[in-house]
Every structure is written in structure tokens, then in C-alpha cells.
Amino acid sequence: MQNFKQTLRTVICFLIVFSLLNAAIMEIYFNSERRDYQDKNDRAALAGTLDTLVVGASYAKRGIVPAEIDKVLGTSTYNLAHADMTMQARYEMLKIEIARNPVKLAFVEVSMDSLNLKPYDTTREGDLYTLARLESPIERQKYAFTAFAPINYGWLYYQLISRGFTDLKYWTQGDYISDSVSHNRGYAPFNEKKHYKAKLSPQHEYHTQIREQYRYAKNVKYLNKIIELCSKNDIELILIEVPMSEVSIARYANLQEVHDYFAQVASENSIGFLDFNLWKEKTAHLSDLKYHDATHMGDELAPIFTEQFANIVQKYLAGEDVSDLFYPDYDTLCSDRGYAPQQ
């Protein structure tokens, strides 16, 4: 009996020490600032000053520069987007910043993949990034229990420990906060300076692919929660599509389906929707050769686009009809630009 009690105490002590060690390693990752999505300190320092927010995935992260919006609109903007950001994450990050800032305007980037990511499966990486942006263990636990399925807990544990040990190594080397991390109010250009070299022209790529649209119920639910959150707080909400390269616009045969869905959501909820893939002046300002890849703008284009984006938003907010600045549909765009085969 005595041996059993001693063994039990040993096991309990081991589990306590093991748990504390794991928690310490994870906290090292959570408090690191080596990655472009780890911005807790930046956001905390700006608390109480932000009136405009941007959420979305990598299209928005790499394509919308808050400083350019502020120049045109006289706002104080933060880009909350990060790669693979789920609709749940967009809602949670908006909720956090709305609670501590006088937010009056919000942009939600929507694209062909915004509702298309399969919950608890293809959303894992994006939700892991979100965990690293939350401030307290309780917030992280709440988010983890709703964002990850039990089958993914092993994967999540491995990722947190692995990244924690990586950051521990950098901490011991005095490189815990990397100079490469951009603190441009959330905007982050690609570290690798390269230009997209399209092997095929838009004409050759015309309607060669279809990206299936599933619109998973969980993603739709959180889009509706975002709309409700902004309405409750008297925030002007505008859904936006950040423009892809011309090759991509020509390539995907069902972009009109994506556009029509979000246009209907906007109409039903009396909010704005601006699809910059359909922007008539896009090719005059944004060259495919200066895109980073087929869908993401390079760092030369992002400020140029954001300035033009802000100019159009300024007209929209002033009550002007900006519909003439956009093609009515993708068929018209592709026909006008010579991507569609001649009939």
C-alpha cells in the first residue's frame, strides 16, 4: 500500500512538472514576436486609438496598407488580417478590437476561399495563428475548444511545443524579437522580394479552373455574427474582394458565383460590397508582373492599390454612386479585356 501511494505521488508530481514545463514552452511561443501575425504588443499599444479595422486572409494581409488608407480618409487603421484567417478568427479579432477602440469603419475581405475552408480540417493553421494573437490563457483555451476538433488536439499540441522550442532557441541567442517582422499596423509585405512570372497569358488560362464553393455552415454563421457585431456597434461594414492577378481573374470560371453570393449578402443586410477584381482601372495601376504570385500583390503594388481603394471608399462613404468604376460582371470584364474567345 505504501509503495502504491509513493508511486501515485511520483506520477502526480511528474504530471505537474510536465504540465508546467509544457505551459512554459507554449508561453514562449505565444509571447514571441518573430512572425508577422504575432502583434499583441502592437495592438495593445494602439488600444483606444483605432477607428478603422481590416480583417481577412493573406490577400488582405499582403495587399492593404493602413498608412495609405489613413492618408486619404484621415482615419486610424489597423490591418488584423493574417494568412488562412478563418471567418471565426475574423469575428473574434474584430470583437476584441471593437471592445477597446472607437471603431467606426470595418472592411472584411471576402474571396472564393473565405467560406470554402473546411472547419476543423483546412482551417487548422489559420486558427493556430489566431491562438498566438490572443492575450490570456483563458482566451486561448476558449478559442481552442471551439476552433479545433478533438482529433486535432495532438496536432495542435505538437505545433505549440515545436514552435515554442524554436522560439526558445532564438531567445537564448538574443533574437527573440526579429527585425524582419513588419509593424506597419498589421500590413506585412512578403520578405522574399520576387515578382510573379506568369508562364501563360490570361487568354491561355481563360476558364481553365473551377474552385468549388461549399460555404460551410460554421463559416457562414461567423460571417453573420460579424455583420451583427458591426450593426450592434454602429460600425459601417464593407465587404471587399482584394484583386488577384489578371491571369487568376481569367482562370477561374466561377468567380461570378462568388461575387453574386456576397453581393446578395450585402444587399440583404444593407452593407457595402466592393469587388476590386471588377475594378475597371485595375490594369492601369496593377501589373501582373509586379504580383508576388498569381493571387497576392507584391510590396510595390500594395501601396498603389490601397491608395486607389481608399479613394473609391471615400466616394462611397460620401454617398456617391461608384458602380460605374466597376464592370457589371466577369463576362463583361473578360470580353472587354480580350480574355474570352471571340464568338
DSSP summary character for residue 187 = B
User: Has residue 14 got a pLDDT over 70?
Assistant: no
Residue 326, SS3 per DSSP: strand
Q: Is residue 15 part of a domain?
A: no
Q: Is residue 10 part of a domain?
A: no
Q: Is residue 36 part of a domain?
A: yes
Instruction: Return the bridge partners of 279, or none.
Output: 326
Most confident of 128-132, 166-170, 223-227: 223-227
Please report, for residues 99, 133, 141, 242, the alpha-carbon distance to residue 136 in angstroms, rounded to integers and kept in the order given: 16, 9, 9, 32
Close Cβ partners of 89 (under 8 Å, ≥ 6 residues apart): 82, 126, 127, 129, 130, 147
Cell of 343: 464568338
pLDDT confidence of residue 1: 59
Q: What is the rounded distance in angstroms from the CA atom of residue 183 to the CA atom of residue 333?
A: 36
Q: What is the rounded distance in angstroms from the CA atom of residue 103 to the CA atom of residue 251?
A: 37
Q: Quote the mean pLDDT of the chain.
A: 89
Q: Is residue 121 part of a domain?
A: yes
Q: Is residue 52 part of a domain?
A: yes
Here the CATH number for the domain that contains residue 72 is 3.40.50.1110
Residue-range definition of the domain harbouring residue 84: 31-336
Q: Is residue 8 part of a domain?
A: no
pLDDT confidence of residue 9: 57
Give the total number of structural domains in the chain: 1
Band of residue 62 on the pLDDT scale cut at 50, 70, 90: very high
pLDDT per residue over 232-289, tens digit each? 999 999 999 999 999 999 999 999 999 999 999 999 999 999 999 999 999 999 999 8
Instruction: Return the bridge partners of 252, or none.
Output: 209
Closest Cα partner for 75 from 43, 113, 102? 102
Q: Is residue 209 part of a domain?
A: yes
How many CB atoms lie under 10 A from the CB of residue 8?
Answer: 10
pLDDT per residue over 280-330, tens digit each? 999 999 999 889 888 999 889 999 999 999 999 999 999 999 999 999 999
Instruction: Render the burial of 49-70: b for 16+ CB within 10 Å, e for the rest.
Output: ebbbbbbbbbbbbbbbbbebbb
Q: Is residue 2 part of a domain?
A: no
